[in-house]
Amino acid sequence: MPIYLDHAATTPLRREALDAMLPLLTDDFGNSSSVHGFGRRARAALDEAHERLAAGIGAQPREIIFTGGGTEAINLAIKGVAWAGKARGHRLVTSAVEHHAVLHTLRHLEKFGFEVVILPVDRYGRVDPDQVDGAINDRTILVSLMMANNEVGTIQPLAEVVRRVRAHRGVLIHLDAVQAAPYLAIDAPALDVDLISLAAHKFEGPKGAGALYIRHGTILLPQMHGGTQERYRRAGTENVAGALGMAVAFGLARAEQPDTAPRLAALRDRLRDAILALPGVELTGHPRRRLPGHLSVVARDIDGAALVQALDLAGVAVSTGSACTTGSTEPSHVLSALGFPDEEARGSLRISLGRITTEQEIGEASLIIPAEMGRLREAQASIAADPLGEQVGA
Ligand code: PLP
């Protein structure tokens, strides 16, 4: 079996979530808006999903809106708040290392007259709370930040940022917790943010299921128009199975966090030491303030895309940068924001462990990954020395 070390891209559906979903995909398939028994059973399952996910993040069930994934939750949060707040102001603040779901949504809003401020980050990928503070003026309506970065794993100094933003009245905070959710406590009242986006497939829930926490009293314009579902905030027949699968997976991930996080951090450190032992390999992201199962590096003189393919053939699934930039030759906007020149950013590798990762897999990966990196670097060096193959067989 290949070793799967790309949990930041997605995770497999866990058995308990599938077991909760199966009846809703078979016998209890009703539409939760229908009044008959089929509909009532679907409604009960949807209510249960709201209750479970809300309990998991310290919220009320009515503060949870189920969506078709992380990207949709983020779009609803940002566009919903931007359009609802337009009369008060039009300035939206974010960081340069956000996921494209955030950055492209903001770029879209710019076309309609919103002013977007994209803050720089330090070499580890952290925003400076003082700069967040400085970017807020009386026209600012929203600050959108990620809790932890998908490409380099860095955790933002969130408490400090929130404290600064809260000093300004009327500025809302949206937290993209998609990548952080399996490993960091997401407690809405303690975080003191207004909106939180989540995606089920990052914590062994189903793909195409996500949720947005909307703090009670937050004014947001729906982005999907039609029926009255999700308290008028997200029209369309609900994915009941997806919502319950998500809620079950989240509850389990949260309960297991105290065991999973330190175990994965120790395995990750072992792999990190094996890879950083190679010359010319540098860690990206923060050395300590990073997600526990997350390892990202740049390797000089190695092409990241070629390395991912070589590792795939050798039985290890990893990625360069983020899943969405895979296949693209563009260097990652995250590594550029951290100050890595394009040629170095092209040698990037992201290795992300998950709950199901075993010690044995990390033992094997600790041998395979450095060996493939060394092999590829030699191969690329010999091609560079003799690009036309004139010395071959000479
Ligand atoms: N935000 C972050 C930080 C992510 O890592 C991702 C997915 O990789 C998303 C948002 C988008 O989530 P989804 O793929 O569920 O739409």
Nearest CA to ligand 1 atom 9: 70
Assign 324 a pLDDT band (cuts: 50, 70, 90). very low
Say yes or no to pLDDT of 322 above 60: no
Q: What percent of the chain has pLDDT over 70?
A: 97
Average pLDDT over residues 98-109: 98
**Which atom belonging to ligand 1 lies closest to the Cα atom of 149?**
3
d(CA 367, CA 372): 9
Mean pLDDT value across the chain: 95
What are the structure tokens assigned to 346, written together? Answer: 């092209």
pLDDT digit string, tens, across residues 130-161: 999 999 999 999 999 999 999 999 999 999 99
Candidate from 33-37, 100-104, 376-380 with smallest mean pLDDT: 376-380
Query: Which pLDDT score is estimated for 60?
Result: 98
CB neighbour list of residue 243: distance below 8 Å, 6 or more residues apart:
45, 46, 49, 50, 53, 66, 209, 211
Assign 82 a pLDDT band (cuts: 50, 70, 90). very high
Assign 323 a pLDDT band (cuts: 50, 70, 90). very low
Average pLDDT over residues 342-346: 90
Say yes or no to pLDDT of 238 above 60: yes
**Which atom belonging to ligand 1 lies closest to the Cα atom of 150?**
5
State whether the beta carbon of 101 lies less than 6 angstroms from ligand 1: yes
Assign 389 a pLDDT band (cuts: 50, 70, 90). confident
State whether the beta carbon of 99 lies less than 6 angstroms from ligand 1: yes
The HSE-up count of residue 280 (CA atoms within 13 Å, CB side) is 14
Say yes or no to pLDDT of 329 above 90: no
State whether the beta carbon of 176 lies less than 6 angstroms from ligand 1: yes
- Residue length of the chain: 394
Rounded to the nearest angstrom, the distance between the alpha carbon of 323 and the centre of ligand 1 is 9
Mutation test of ligand 1: which of 178, 179, 203, 334 has the most ligand atoms closer than 8 Å to its C-beta?
Answer: 178
Say yes or no to pLDDT of 327 above 60: no
Query: Which pLDDT score is estimated for 330?
Result: 75
**Which atom belonging to ligand 1 lies closest to the Cα atom of 72?**
16
CB neighbour list of residue 109: distance below 8 Å, 6 or more residues apart:
78, 79, 82, 92, 116
Average pLDDT over residues 349-364: 98
Span between the terminal Cα atoms of the chain, in Å: 41
Average pLDDT over residues 333-356: 95
pLDDT digit string, tens, across residues 5-20: 999 999 999 999 999 9
Say yes or no to pLDDT of 366 above 80: yes
Nearest CA to ligand 1 atom 12: 70
Coil, strand, or helix at residue 97? coil
* Residues designated as active site: 324
Say yes or no to pLDDT of 328 above 70: no
**Which atom belonging to ligand 1 lies closest to the Cα atom of 210?**
15
**Closest alpha carbon to 94 in 171, 183, 190, 178:** 171
* Strand runs labelled E in the chain: 3-4, 64-67, 91-95, 115-119, 140-146, 172-176, 195-199, 210-214, 281-283, 294-299, 316-317, 348-352
Mutation test of ligand 1: which of 6, 99, 352 has the most ligand atoms closer than 8 Å to its C-beta?
Answer: 99
